[in-house]
Homo-oligomer: A and B are copies of this chain.
Amino acid sequence: MSSCWGNKVKISIFGESHGKGIGVVVDNLPAGEKIDMEQVLMHMGRRAPGKDKTATPRLEKDLPQILSGMLNDTTTGTPMCAVIENTNTRSGDYGNLLTAPRPGHGDYPGFIRYNGFNDIRGGGHFSGRLTAPIVFAGSVCRQILEKKGIKIASHIQSVGKVCDSKFNPLKVDESLIDSLNKQSFPVIDPSSEPKMREYIENARMSQDSTGGVIECVATGVPAGIGSPMFGGVENLISSIMFGIPAVKGIEFGAGFAITEMLGSQANDQYAYDENGKVVTLSNNNGGITGGITNGMPILFRIAVKPTPSISKPQQTVDLTKHENTELVIHGRHDPCIVPRATVVAESALAIALINLL
């Protein structure tokens, strides 16, 4: 299914960038869960465009309308639908002709996939705007998880070659999680932010863009969650993460670096901690072995490619004239979507985890 995900709590996302609205149906949520809508809006604000660090996280124009599934701020247990109206709808007929597909975007593959009938205005269903419903759904799921002691956070691990500190893989402090959860430019080491912003600004000034890596963590997930072989935690998390536009890689624990370790370094050895709980002495497996959680923090990183929309001239094809051409994309573009993508990744993680529990 193209835009559906989940087997216990299922999300079904709809909408095109310039249609009447976008949104999500969340089916099979548990009944009776009180949801703090301000928190949901706070997270949606972290994803919303057109802000900088000091801006209010609440943007009226992206306010979700909850059509069903909530009563007195409490889940009813029947399907929840939230709609975000598009305010940039143009009425009337218009040409939907794709001439010059933008490199790095879904334009050309989408043109083939949909025989030219998909809505290409603003990226249509491929638009990054479609991550807003993920954040809505994920922010609801996240609150349900929090009541079970599960916390989720992420930070910008790197922008281009500028790196932040990493999470302590053995224990992530609650205070750090809480602090990251409120930021629209979440970094662990505050000194990373100006350097990253400068790097982004440089890219922007040269009519270019930059990508980065996001590191995500979930703490408090009990041991024994997930199933071999294809019902594993890594299978599920990766299958939803690649639904976030621009994600090109995912690695759990030490990830690709584990391939350069010896087994004796890579293996997470066990011990009882002071409370008699089984812990591991390292966390190169990101809290998961055999597809199942071991009670340590779930830790992974995703690679986010540079924003494909850049002002620099690019080579492309003219699909109507069947000839090569040059493309210049006009308008203001986000030179780096990594900061806004952090809360999207957290939300997708929340949706994945609620399906595993």
Contact = CB atoms under 8 A, between A and B. Distances in A.
Contacts of A115: 31-32, 77
A212 interface: yes
A43 interface: no
A184 interface: no
Interface string A263-286: 111111111100010101100111
Given A16-B68, A110-B290, A290-B106, A231 B263 contact: no
A211 B267 contact: no
Nearest to A134: B229
A258 interface: yes
Number of copies: 4
Given A119-B76, A125-B76, A238-B250, A315 B106 contact: no
Interface stretch (A142-150, A166-174, A190-198, A306-314): A306-314
Given A1-B27, A228-B125, A15 B68 contact: yes
A31 B118 contact: yes
13 contacts: A1-B230, A2-B227, A19-B67, A28-B227, A108-B289, A109-B288, A112-B223, A113-B227, A125-B228, A208-B262, A230-B240, A248-B251, A248-B253
Given A3-B228, A16-B76, A76-B114, 4 more contacts: A14-B68, A104-B263, A238-B242, A258-B306
B239 A236 contact: yes
Given A77-B114, A242-B232, A314 B267 contact: yes
Contacts of A175: none
B259 A305 contact: yes
A126 interface: yes
Interface string A284-326: 1110111111110000010111111110101111010011100
Size range of the interface on A?
35 or more
Contacts of A75: 117
A326 to B, nearest CB: 10
Nearest to A82: B14
A14 B80 contact: yes
A124 interface: yes
A96 interface: yes
A109 B294 CA distance: 5
Given A259-B305, A306-B258, A27 B3 contact: yes
A74 interface: yes
A252 B238 CA distance: 12
A39 interface: no
Contacts of A5: 229-230
A220 interface: no
Given A230-B1, A230-B4, A271-B324, A19 B103 contact: no
